[in-house]
Structure 1
Amino acid sequence: MKTVFFAAAALLGLAAAPAWAQGPVSGRLATANDQAVPGATIRLDGQPVGATAADGTFALPAVPAGAHELSFTALGFSPIIYAVTGQPAAQQLPPLAIEASSSVTPEVLVTASRANDRTATAYTNLSKQDLAKQNFGQDLPYLLNQTPSVVVNSDAGAGVGYTDIRIRGTSNTGINTTINGVPLNDPESHGAFLINLPDLASSVNSLQIQRGVGTSQNGGAAFGASLNISTLDNRREAYAETQNTYGSYQTWKNNVSFGTGLINGHFTVDGRLSRITSDGYMNRATSDLKSYYFAAGYQAKNTLLKFITFSGREKTYQAWNGVPEPAITGNRALLQTYVDNGELSPADAARVLTEGRRYSYYTYDNQTDNYQQNHYQLHLSQGLGQRWSLGAALHLTRGFGYYESFRAGRKFSNYGLPNVVIGTQTITRTDLVDRKWLNNNFYGGTLALNYQPTNGKLQATVGGAWNRFDNDHYGEIIWARYASTSFLNQRYYFNNAVKTDYNAYARATWQVLPVLGIYGDVQVRHINYAINGVEQGNQDVTTRASYTFFNPKAGATLTLGHGHQLYGSFAVGQREPVRSDFTDRPVGDQTAKAERLEDFEGGYRFNRTDLGFLGANGALRFEANGFYMNYQNQMVATGQLNDVGTALRTNVARSYRRGVELSGFISANDKISLSTTVTLSQNRILDYQDVTYDANYEPVLAAARTSTISYSPGVVSAHTLEGQPVKGLRLALLLKTVSRQYLDNSENKNRSLDPYNTLDFRLRYAIHPSFMKEIELGLLVNNLLNREYSANGYTYSYLDGNGTSQTFNWFYPQATCNYLASVGLKF
């Protein structure tokens, strides 16, 4: 692999010699009385390219030949536009003066939830262009795979359908996700199911990943990271675009996007229609995904009003059961153990031998998950003089759907039905098909009042949110071999859950000295949660829970000179248990405890674009971030799943994650660049007692010891080498490595995922003919070296009658070498 990687680097380096790109542009943005304006958004020809630093300075690595518009927007200031012309040599612009104003921009609506260089937190910003490079139709987690501490996986194996993301070993149940400041995480499970919003990335204007607790957010607490997604953008010019992709496993993506531009100086309309289908790498792991996005906005000097609606509908053949270990190893003796234990039937075992690592547990032709989610958002941003602005939103998310399953040999009593008596024969079991439904409404409002004086030294926000989630859970029998007394769509369980969540926070950054800034943030969050009713088998799941959390945060930044910054922060995050932490425990057991996290972050940033040895267009960035995340009562995965594929969890009294995240970027003449990130971490549970079950299903506790937290690799790295041998053609190699992950907390190698590394190849070639804006051809080859690996799995063990431990592992194999090819048109 090293040979391939460095050979490619050499070829790209040679291609970089005849550089065509022009030189860098730098300068400083300040008020009329020379007060620096930090955090201003910089756009080149309308596209975001960066932000001003704490001292108001900025530096763009390269501006192409020709005339361009450089614009600056900042909260509390009037936008300014500066004309620049790309030149071979570096340009230092004269001081740029910006005037105070109450005019508002779309950025105001996400300012309250975004981190910046003043908040002393670890974060990564991705622009629309960054996401578009990797967007061939795979789910959003796969577009984030090259960012620090990220591990992704796919049930169907190829990134389409159900996917998951972990950051610092934390699954998406610990990742706070918002869209335009509105919570996306399901309030009961805490998961953000991005499959319900296929092709969302095509409507994203910017995305920020905050690692650790981060800043105060609306919705569920961040226990590993936050994803702050913004679709708010006002494009001044009318446009029409279409992207079309075809690839391995009959994968198709087709979308059409359009926008009116600014009409009469006030109105905008934008829209998108998308369709994604795939057979999946795993057998019978098909996906049929559809979505739309529509936004209508009104803009005046002091007011921005925007209505947004987007929706997704998914139908996926269930692949969440995974693949038994013998299908991966080909071990026939182990396969027989699975048969003897009832894990597999003889017929299933025969299919394991023929289907191998692409084996699918389910064979019923409609073993599918069906769900639709409709989002409605109304956003208001109002300027209140030169120093204040108000951002507010009302939202409604309507979700409904079911998964359908064939069940063999189920007891009538588990469905509340009497046995069937035929003559002298009593039938106690039947094959049947059922549907488990969710039907919910999530609604509420968010509010943020922002303050920034004209000198830019102080930025403050006071805000909060009120949200309510009302969710019906129920099951229906739609067919049975022996119907007993049931009727069509017989409902055999029903329960309703209502969750109310409100929070208030205050946040401020203060530039005490030109080189020293401090940051403070406090949040109070209150949750009421009630479940009434029964689950399958007449299990009473009635629950009453209430929590109040106080979450303080503080930090400081120190500028050491041009391009150098030190930062440090401390934050507290707390969150409530999820639904399954209550319902998957024994009847009446509501002992699941709230979790608490104390997060210490500190690091060093370096950012320079004026280093002569890299050429006129060179750039060099480096960041080293250290973290120590100290948990009390952390919920960790046991390695087992419930009947809908949700990981079962348990509280552990004391645990921690600590490590360092190293990130770097270097480019020369905009012709060749290398970005790299490496995370080294320790993820430990103190005094952990492994639990197995004997032949009578009684728990057996092992001796207490320190153990590694499940699904938490000690080393994660990502590296991207990109070159531009000729104008418009960009080639990239993307390397990803992930070290061993344990499937439970026993730190047993026999219950783990082997380390893996993958190499991808990406090509983008854009031309600009006279009759349209752009034609772009793209190619993504995933897993170029054809590695066979699994990125996720689960396990469970017990002691048999002889006292011997029996372990059963199930894995989610990922696709071998595969491709996606695309054509994009812009008018």
Structure 2
Amino acid sequence: MKIIFTLALFCLLGGMSAYAQSDSIKHLDEIVIYQANKATPVSFLNLGKTAIQAKNIGQEPSFLLSETPAITVYSDAGSQQGYSYYRLRGIDQTRINTTLDGMPLNEPEDQGAYFSNYPDILNSISRVQIQRGTGTSQNGVASYAGSVQLFSPDLTDSAGFTLGAGYGSYNSLRAFGEYKSGLKKHGAMYLRASQVYTDGYKENAFNNSRSLFASGGLFYDKSIWKLNIMAGHQRNGMAWLPVADSLISINRKTNANTKAEKDAFFQGLAQLQHQWHPSMHASIISSIYYTYLKGGYGFDGNNFIGLPSNGELFHYNFRSHFVGLFSNYTLTHTHNKWTTGIHGNWYTRQHKGVDDVAGELYRNSGYKQELSAFSKLEYYLGGFTFYTDLQYRYAGFQYRGSVPLERLEWHFLNPRAGISYAVSKQASIYYSIGRTGREPTRNDIFGGNDDLVADSLLKPLIYNKDPEFVVDQELGARIRGNRGALQLNAYYMRFKNEIVLNGQIGPNGLVLTDNVKSSFRTGMEVSASYQLSRSFSLVNNSSWNYSKITEQTGAFKPVLTPALIINQEIIYQRQRFLAGISGRYQSSSYIDFANMGLIRDYTLFNARIQYTFPQYVVTLFINNLSNARYYNNGALAADGSMSYFVQAPANVYVAFKYTF
């Protein structure tokens, strides 16, 4: 690890000598390391700033991601602010790699990426790339189902100041201010502050949060320095328990959590990036980052087990530090592009359990380290692009608490290869195959316990420490014409020792899992846009999935994996006026491992109307036009009773933006 830190620090500082030199490099474009391009043989979708800002109202990014192929979403509170979760190809987000400018956003212990701790984050994102399948090598947790790459503000954008505000159903509001200096001489800066609030659709499911994003850069002929600082503070009324159908029939806004159960978290990060061009053909990009988290939430144990609440809470408290760095070297020539990189990080989180009556009951700490290296090559021959990518990744976990646990270690060798062929300037086809492995989360290892427990022999009770593996094959085509574009792909994912949901929730609010020996997921995905006329355009993002888990007792469908998802939008735009209506159909899916509990299929319709003045933009959003009563997650109790996460009926939101 010491060698990695020394090398990356050298790369960060090495570019300083380039300031005094002059050469023919006058404009430095961003060098893409992890992002796929049109010749890369992987399945991906890009979302640009215009597409993001058109629908961004301060909601959780999960809802915007759900408009892309193969992604499902649900919200604890039933509304679009507060905790929400998404799944890609039916696989949960702890197995989806999430980064900001290459910096891991997933928490290493539980491997989740919590957008709620960075409210209104989409307001400061210049673009997003979603890779489906094993994709390209990424920093941080395994790209098991795919990856979501966020990119910080483009500091070379035009100078300006923007004020925004919005208000809608359930007392939902957002206010923000954004400043961009533009590039002046060698420097540029960006600053954004936001406040988001909602009562939530469910009772006592409020969200009150604020955030800050600051970015600054220095631009020279051969070198760029960039610093990102992001911080968020949020408080929520907890709503992570599904509600029994018998209670929903009486009051759909019922919250199964008590009013006293709340959380509060602060999370902040800092990232220093450096890009250096020692020559016309070579570039080095390096980054050092740090994340700090502190907070906790209350848990009503009596309410959880079905007893009357006496108002006494158990408190889960956390504090973590996460520091890391990466460095990548790229060499580009006419017929090839070679990139090699290293990444290392160190993470620690303190866990503390405190009872209102008994006081502190336990205190423990988890330590996790990660080290990875990759090398990838793209070779261009005629219309062909040959692609190979090999990554080594090491992860180690150590626990210090009342029950001793030997250090756990995992080693992964993740190969990827593929080929694409440009049939014409407008069309290409590709095929790729990749294998990756992933270690279990702390929650998987401890079986939902925040403090490790011992068995009857006083040995640590470990539920699962074995990794899971997937071999992913992708076959696709990309076509772009004067009036539209089409991306179509088929995939086949074969798993070994897959860690899947069993439909139960642990006392810490995290879902519980089991291992299955054999399973697969296969399907097709399409992303298409077409300009019908000067005013009308169509956008479609849909997917079909067929998946199966094979056990000794039979075959089952994976939890929360609908077979068919259709997102269709039609947009009318004429001069400064825009109107759009979108529909989403999601077929039924199971909520328990044995396939006894079913979530019915549903159809949603949403609309937006926008008018743009010279300096103003006013937008009206109408969600769930048909007032559909639907669920998209739930649980099955031991007695066979069903409980669900109710999502909001028809609701509206008005957004206003002023730029000067």
TM surpasses 0.5: yes
Give the unaligned 5+ runs of structure 2.
1-22, 455-459
Q: What's 2:150 paired with?
A: 229
1:632 aligns with 2:496: yes
1:29 maps to none
Question: Counterpart of 1:728?
Answer: 576
- Give the partner amino acid of 2:321: N
Give the AA of the match of 1:731.
Answer: A
Q: Structure 2: how far apart are the matches of 1:431 and 1:818?
A: 33
Offset from partner CA, 1:438-483 (integer Å, 9 cap, x none): 1000001011111112x3x312211121011100000123x33xxx
Computing the radius of gyration from Cα coordinates, the structure with the larger value is 1
Matching residue of 1:655: 519
In structure 1, what is the Cα distance between the partners aligned to 2:345 and 2:37?
27
Structure 2 letter corresponding to 1:463: G
Q: 1:579 maps to which residue?
A: 442
Instruction: Say yes or no: does 1:507 pair with 2:376.
Output: yes
TM-score, normalising length from structure 2? 0.92
Residue in 1 aligned with 2:342?
Answer: 464
CA distance in 1 between counterparts of 2:73 and 2:157 reads 36
Matches of 2:218 and 2:205 in 1, distance apart?
A: 43
Which residue of structure 2 aligns with residue 402 of structure 1?
296
- After superposition, the Cα gap between the structure-2 partners of 1:410 and 1:623, relative to the gap in structure 1 and judged at 3 Å, is closer
Contact 2:417 2:432 (C-alpha < 8 Å) held by counterparts: yes
TM-score by length of 1: 0.74
Is 1:438 the equivalent of 2:287? no
1:785 and 2:626 matched: yes
Cα deviation, residue 626, structure 1: 0.5
**Residue in 2 that maps onto 1:597:** 470
- Counterpart residue number, 1:362: 257
The separation in 1 between residues aligned to 2:647 and 2:324, in whole angstroms, is 39
Secondary structure of 1:744 counterpart = coil
Q: Which whole-Å CA distance do the structure 2 matches of 1:756 and 1:245 have between them?
A: 28
1:788 counterpart letter in structure 2: R
Opposite residue 153 of structure 1, the aligned amino acid is Y
Does structure 2 retain, via aligned residues, the 8 Å contact 1:106–1:234? no
- Select the residue among 392, 397, 407 that pairs with 1:529: 397
Shift, 1:754, TM fit: 0.9
Work out whether residues 475 and 494 of structure 1, in 8 Å CA contact, stay in contact via their aligned partners in 2: yes
Letter in structure 1 aligned against 2:496:
Q
1:711 Cα shift?
0.9
Residue of structure 2 equivalent to 1:10 = none
Residue 743 of structure 1 corresponds to 591
Q: Please report how far the alpha carbon of residue 669 of structure 1 lies from its aligned counterpart in structure 2 after TM superposition.
A: 4.5
Q: Does 1:154 align with 2:75?
A: yes
**Aligned mates of 1:663, 1:238 — CA distance in 2:** 34
Q: Which moved more, 1:660-669 or 1:734-743?
A: 660-669
The answer to whether structure 1 residue 809 and structure 2 residue 642 are counterparts is yes
Structure 1 residues 555 and 670, CA gap change in structure 2 (3 angstroms): farther
Q: Distance in 1 between matches of 2:257 and 2:384?
A: 60
**Match of residue 448 from structure 1:** 328
TM superposition shift of 1:105: 3.7
1:766 aligns with 2:612: yes
Residue 756 (structure 1) aligned with residue 605 (structure 2): no
Q: What is the SS of the residue equivalent to 1:202?
A: helix
Match of 2:193 in 1: 273
Q: Shift in Å at residue 809 of structure 1?
A: 2.4
Percent identity over paired residues: 26
Deviation at 1:606, TM superposition (A): 1.3
Distance 1:399 1:103 in 2: 40
**DSSP 3-state at the match of 2:122:** helix
Report whether the alignment pairs 1:516 with 2:384: yes
Please point out which of 556, 560, 565 is paired with 1:716. 565
Say if 1:410 and 1:430, in contact at 8 Å, map to a contact too: no
Does the 8 Å CA contact 2:619/2:654 hold for their aligned counterparts? yes
Shift of 1:232: 4.0
* Counterpart amino acid of residue 465 in structure 2: A
Task: Encode CA deviations 1:539-572: one digit per residue, 9 max, x unaligned.
Answer: x473531001000000001121231211000001
- Whole-angstrom CA distance in 1 between matches of 2:618 and 2:563: 38
Deviation of 1:592 (Å): 3.2
Letter in 2 for 1:107: E
How far apart are the structure 2 equivalents of 1:814 and 1:559? 44
Aligned length: 625
Q: CA deviation at 1:101?
A: 5.2
Q: Say whether the 8 Å CA contact 2:264–2:296 is kept in structure 1.
A: yes
- Pick aligned residue for 2:237 from 317, 336, 343: 317
Q: Following the alignment from structure 1 to structure 2, what is the Cα–Cα distance between the partners of residues 223 and 783? A: 32
1:122 aligns to 2:2 (yes or no): no
Q: How far is 1:361 from its partner?
A: 2.1
Output the amino acid matched with 1:721: I
| Counterpart-to-counterpart distance in 1, 2:229 and 2:487 | 38
Q: How does 1:4-83 map to 2 (within 5 A)?
A: none
Preserved CA contact (<8 Å) 1:568 1:603: yes
1:744 and 1:247 map into 2 onto residues whose CA distance is: 35
- Find the counterpart in structure 2 of residue 183 from structure 1: 104
Correspondent of 2:88 among 167, 183, 186: 167
Displacement of 1:407 in angstroms is 4.4
- Per the alignment, residue 202 of structure 1 pairs with 123
Alignment-mate amino acid for residue 126 of structure 1:
L
Partner of 1:285: 205
Hey, what's the Cα distance between the residues in 1 that align with 2:656 and 2:157?
25
Contact 1:244/1:824 (8 A) holds in 2:
yes
Q: Could you tell me how far apart the structure 1 residues matched to 2:388 and 2:376 are? A: 6
In 2, the alpha carbon distance for the partners of 1:520 and 1:294 equals 36
CA contact (8 A) 1:595 1:632 kept: yes
- Amino acid in structure 2 at the alignment position of 1:781: I
**Matched AA of 2:241:** N
Q: CA RMSD in A?
A: 1.9
Tell me the alpha carbon deviations over residues 270-323 of structure 1, each in whole angstroms, 9 at most, x when there is no partner.
100000000000011000011000111111111100111001111000000121
5 Å-filtered alignment, 1:254-403, equals 254-263=175-184, 265-328=185-248, 330=249, 353=250, 356-364=251-259, 366-403=260-297
CA distance in 2, matches of 1:499, 1:744: 31
Q: Would you say the 8 A contact 1:137–1:245 is kept in 2?
A: no
**1:732–1:763 CA contact under 8 A, matched in 2:** yes
| Maintained 8 Å contact 1:106/1:304 | no
- State the shift of 1:620 in Å: 2.0
Q: Distance in 2 between matches of 1:187 and 1:783?
A: 36
* Structure 1 unpaired stretches of 5+: 1-99, 331-352, 412-428, 481-485, 535-539, 610-618, 689-703, 769-773, 798-805
Inter-partner Cα distance in structure 2 for 1:145 and 1:166: 9
Change (3 A) 1:473 1:518: same
Deviations 1:674-699 (A, max 9, x none): 011221111110125xxxxxxxxxxx
Q: Structure 2: how far apart are the matches of 1:578 and 1:196? A: 20
Work out the CA distance in 1 between the residues paired with 2:606 and 2:107.
Answer: 32
1:566-614 superposed Cα distances (whole Å, 9 cap, x missing partner): 10000011110000111117743434310100000001221111xxxxx
Q: Does structure 1 residue 606 correspond to structure 2 residue 606? A: no
Q: Distance in 1 between matches of 2:583 and 2:108?
A: 35
Change in Cα spacing, 1:543 to 1:816, as seen in structure 2 (3 Å) is farther
Question: How far apart, CA to CA, are the structure 2 residues paired with 1:251 and 1:628?
Answer: 41
Residue 104 of structure 1: CA displacement? 6.1
